[in-house]
Amino acid sequence: MALWLARRGADVALVARRRDLLEEVAVEVRALGRRALVVPTDVAVREEVLRAFEDVVEGLGQPDILVNAAGIAVWKAFLDVTELEHRAMMDVNYWGAFHWIRAALPGMRALGRGHIVNISSGTGKIGLSVTSGYSASKFALTGLSESLHRELLGTNLNVSCVHPGSIRTGFWDPVAIPRDGVPPLVRFAPKMSPQAVARTVGSCVRWGFAVRTVPVFVGLLARANAIWIRLGDLMLWKWFIPLLGMALLLGFLF
pLDDT digits 0-9 by tens, 112-125: 999 999 999 999 99
Average pLDDT in the 106-114 region? 97
Asked if the model's pLDDT at residue 192 lies above 70, the reply is yes
Asked if the model's pLDDT at residue 28 lies above 80, the reply is yes
Query: Out of 68, 134, 138, 204, which one is annotated catalytic?
Result: 134
Residue 94 designated active-site? no
Q: Are the C-beta atoms of residues 36 and 12 closer than 8 Å to each other?
A: yes
Give the pLDDT band of residue 210 (cuts 50, 70, 90): very high
Domain range 41-253, CATH class:
alpha beta
**For the whole model, what pTM was predicted?**
0.92
Q: Are the C-beta atoms of residues 61 and 113 closer than 8 Å to each other?
A: no
pLDDT of residue 195: 95
pLDDT of residue 179: 65
pLDDT of residue 240: 74
Cβ-count burial 218-239 (b if 16+ within 10 Å, e if not): bbebbebbeeeeeebeebbeee
- Average pLDDT over all residues of the chain: 92
Asked if the model's pLDDT at residue 80 lies above 90, the reply is yes
pLDDT of residue 186: 76
Cα angle vertex 45, ends 175, 104, to 5°? 110
pLDDT of residue 184: 74
Asked if the model's pLDDT at residue 217 lies above 90, the reply is no
